[in-house]
Amino acid sequence: MVKNVQAKKAELTRLSNLTKGFIKENPVFVSLLGMCPALAVTMTLETSLGMGLLVIFVLTLSNIVISLIKKLVPPQVKIPVYIVVIATFVTIVGMLTQAFAPALFDSLGIFIPLIVVNCLILGRAESFASKNNVLDSTIDGVGMALGFTGALMLIGFSRELLATGAIAYGTYLPLPVSGSLLNLEFYVVNMAVFNGAAGGFIVIGLWLAFFNTIRLNQEKKQELERQRFIEQKKKEALERKRKKALESAGEPA
Amino acid sequence: MDQQKPSFNPAVITKEKLRILVAFLMVLLGVATYIFGMQVIYLTLVSIAIAIVIEVAFSKIRKRPLDHGILVTPLMIALLMPPTAPLWLVLIASGFGVFFGKAIFGGLGRNIFNPAAVGYLFVIISFPAQMATQWLNPRTDAISSATPLINLNAGNASDFTIWELLLGNVPGTLGETFRLGIIVLGIALIVLKIADWRIPTFTILSVFVFTAIGHLAFPSTFAVEPLISLFVGGLMFGAFFVATDPVTAPLNKNGKIIYAVGIGLITVLIRNMAAFPEGIIFAVIIMNAVAPLIDHYLQKTDEKESFA
């Protein structure tokens, strides 16, 4: 019985471990990690997705390896060792991309090698994988990378739609079909600003504002609830005290 | 926090001065209507309408009193539009300028960049086809692809005399062509202490000097003659009306000179070496970003004078 409950609890924390990266601790919109690719490669939905896939691969594998070797690495050389591990996987994905998705490789360019210094990956290695077991680290890596990919795709979707009025597919990723979705043919939508860096900042800023508003509202609600709970407890305590006082006053009488 | 105070910035000009500025901009729009026709009125009305919608919405959401400078930005944006601009273009420009240039920062007095310049830049980068290729020639009512500035930049001879350029019956954006009126009203702004004299003077002077240097050193790149370069493009309007916005310019007196010279230099560089024919608005935005830095470095030397 007790074992069952414990297993359920562990599952629940694993589930929350997976989903915490989606919205609650989203790397881009909450922790502001990995802003460099979030600005630089989110011109289109497809490049964002491509970068996201690479990060999923690198982050998951580096988390696994780092949690495996965590006891072997002396703390003095922690960071260099992590960087070497991450760089290995980045090199692998870079070569794989060049072989199987050359268009994506060309359009991401320098930002593939730069995944090595993506602070999201080093951050998860340092703060999670070096302290937890392999399974938890894997789940954490997948969840965080999925959250990162989702955020990138959200930005990429908004920017591509605003800049070109359509969402193209099959251009960068080796999909069997190619074409474009959501053809908003009226030309008001083609705002070339969103292709540039300024548009990237504007879109990220707007999404940040959106997620922050939601988060702040939630926090405010929680705070109100907490206060109400405290008030209630106080009231109960006061009532109890009064009762006791009445009783003790009634006794001698 | 400070709902009673509409702004904390000492540079914000008073209601009366803003009213005069709005009146001057209206005069320029009136002349533009005379030169370019009724489209000017429609553009202005659309620009003002969207600006008022956004400002009212923000004052309701932020629970702040309505700014008294509500009309300045939409009027300036209307004056920066080409005469053939479709109405949706000015809608986007004015909406973007007021929302991202002003409201998001907290309203009048808190904005970093001139909101009119922000709106203008957004549309000229996004819609170059509508913003920079169709120029109505008011004398022939024909639409050509060049203004006097574009012609001169390309190294062709100007087909307009300086007097014609001053009177404004030439292709160009709505606000920039009636240069005589801009100069007169600009001097009035200076006399009425709405604008600081240093900014327009040094902007125009530095454009003259830098163009002259460039013209002497590299006549093929800097094709425009220095004197003519002052009377083409949006330089006069930008120098007298856009760059002088006291909120986004430095507070320091010497800082204003540095700011103006920077605007002149960047204008000349963009005019002669970049893809866009006119660079004054870009220059104003760039120097707006630098203005707080200028103030910061000059604060110690000028502290007593400026806040005495």
ipTM, 2 decimals? 0.76
Q: Where are the domains of chain A?
A: 2-192
- For A233, the token pair is 């407890």
Is B92 in the A-facing interface, judged by CB distances under 8 Å?
A: yes
pLDDT at site B193: 86
Q: A191 and B88 in contact by Cβ < 8 A?
A: no
pLDDT tens digits along B168-224: 788 888 888 888 999 999 999 999 888 889 999 999 999 999 999 988 888 887 878
pTM: 0.81
Is A180 in the B-facing interface, judged by CB distances under 8 Å?
A: no
Which residue numbers in chain A have pLDDT < 50? none
In this structure, what are the phi and psi dihedrals at residue A169, rounded to the nearest 5 degrees?
-135, 155
pLDDT at site A198: 86
The burial of A251, by beta-carbon neighbours within 10 Å (0-12 exposed, 13-18 middle, 19 or more buried), is given as exposed
Q: How many CB pairs under 8 A join A and B?
A: 18
Mark B262-297 as b/e (b = at least 16 C-beta within 10 Å).
bbbbbbbbbbbeeeebbbbbbbbbbbbeebeebbee
The answer to whether position B20 is within a domain reads yes
Q: In the predicted model, is pLDDT for residue B3 greater than 50? A: no
The distance of A192 to chain B (nearest Cα, Å) reads: 4
Mutation pick from A193, A194, A195, A212 vs chain B, by most beta carbons of B within 10 Å, is A193
Q: Helix, strand or coil for residue A179?
A: strand
pLDDT at site A155: 93
Task: Assign B303 a pLDDT band (cuts: 50, 70, 90).
Answer: low
Cα B100 to chain centroid distance, Å, stands at 17
pLDDT at site B97: 92
Write the Ramachandran bin of B64: left for phi over 0, alpha for psi from -120 to 50, otherwise beta. Answer: beta
The answer to whether position B7 is within a domain reads no
How many domains does the structure of chain B reveal? 1
Is B105 in the A-facing interface, judged by CB distances under 8 Å?
A: no
Q: Helix, strand or coil for residue B257?
A: helix
A188 interaction partners in chain B (CB closer than 8 Å): 88, 92
Residue B36, H or E segment: helix B15-36
Residue B190 belongs to domain spanning? 15-298
pLDDT at site A186: 59
The arithmetic mean of pLDDT across residues B33-37, rounded, is 87
pLDDT at site B207: 92
Q: A192 and B100 in contact by Cβ < 8 A?
A: no
Q: Of A51, A69, A49, A47, give the one whose Cα is nearest residue A59.
A: A51
Q: In the predicted model, is pLDDT for residue B302 greater than 70? A: no
Q: B126 and A202 in contact by Cβ < 8 A?
A: no
A198 interaction partners in chain B (CB closer than 8 Å): 125
In this structure, what are the phi and psi dihedrals at residue A84, rounded to the nearest 5 degrees?
-60, -45
The answer to whether position B244 is within a domain reads yes
The answer to whether position B22 is within a domain reads yes
In this structure, what are the phi and psi dihedrals at residue A137, rounded to the nearest 5 degrees?
-65, -40
Angstrom distance (rounded) from CA A31 to CA A21:
10
A45-68 helix and A134-164 helix, angle to the nearest 10 degrees: 170
The distance of B130 to chain A (nearest Cα, Å) reads: 11
Nearest-Cα residue of chain B relative to residue A191: B126
Q: A191 and B100 in contact by Cβ < 8 A?
A: no
Is B56 in the A-facing interface, judged by CB distances under 8 Å?
A: no
Question: Are A115 and A54 within 8 A, CB to CB?
Answer: yes
pLDDT at site A2: 59
A196 interaction partners in chain B (CB closer than 8 Å): 125
**Under 8 Å CB-to-CB from A152, ≥6 apart: which residues?**
A28, A37, A38, A41, A42, A48, A49, A51, A52
How far are the Cα atoms of A214, A217, A224, A235, B127 from residue A228, in angstroms, in the given order?
Answer: 21, 16, 6, 10, 54
B72-80 helix and B15-36 helix, angle to the nearest 10 degrees: 30
Q: What percent of chain B has pLDDT over 90?
A: 34
pLDDT tens digits along B230-263: 888 888 999 999 998 888 888 888 899 999 999 9
CA-CA-CA-CA torsion sign (B31, B35, B38, B40):
negative
In this structure, what are the phi and psi dihedrals at residue B10, rounded to the nearest 5 degrees?
-65, -15
Question: Are B96 and B127 within 8 A, CB to CB?
Answer: no
Q: Which of residues 204-243 of A touch B (CB under 8 A)?
A: none
Q: B126 and A188 in contact by Cβ < 8 A?
A: no
Mutation pick from A186, A188, A194 vs chain B, by most beta carbons of B within 10 Å, is A188
Using CB atoms, pick whichever of A188, A190, A202 lies closest to residue B100. Answer: A202
How far are the Cα atoms of A115, B186, B268 from residue A83, in angstroms, in the given order?
Answer: 11, 60, 47
Angstrom distance (rounded) from CA A237 to CA A244:
10
pLDDT tens digits along B123-148: 988 888 887 777 887 777 777 777 77
The burial of A176, by beta-carbon neighbours within 10 Å (0-12 exposed, 13-18 middle, 19 or more buried), is given as exposed
Average pLDDT, rounded, for chain B: 84
Q: A202 and B125 in contact by Cβ < 8 A?
A: no
pLDDT at site B5: 44
CA-CA-CA-CA torsion sign (A35, A39, A42, A47):
negative
Task: Assign B10 a pLDDT band (cuts: 50, 70, 90).
Answer: low
The distance of A201 to chain B (nearest Cα, Å) reads: 12
The answer to whether position B169 is within a domain reads yes
Q: A193 and B122 in contact by Cβ < 8 A?
A: yes
Question: Are A132 and A17 within 8 A, CB to CB?
Answer: no
In this structure, what are the phi and psi dihedrals at residue A25, rounded to the nearest 5 degrees?
-120, 40
Question: Are B82 and B36 within 8 A, CB to CB?
Answer: no
Task: Assign B109 a pLDDT band (cuts: 50, 70, 90).
Answer: confident
Q: A188 and B122 in contact by Cβ < 8 A?
A: no
Task: Assign B300 a pLDDT band (cuts: 50, 70, 90).
Answer: low
The answer to whether position B6 is within a domain reads no
Angstrom distance (rounded) from CA B172 to CA A195:
28
Per-residue DSSP letter, A115: G
Is B146 in the A-facing interface, judged by CB distances under 8 Å?
A: no
The arithmetic mean of pLDDT across residues B282-297, rounded, is 91
Angstrom distance (rounded) from CA A143 to CA B65:
45
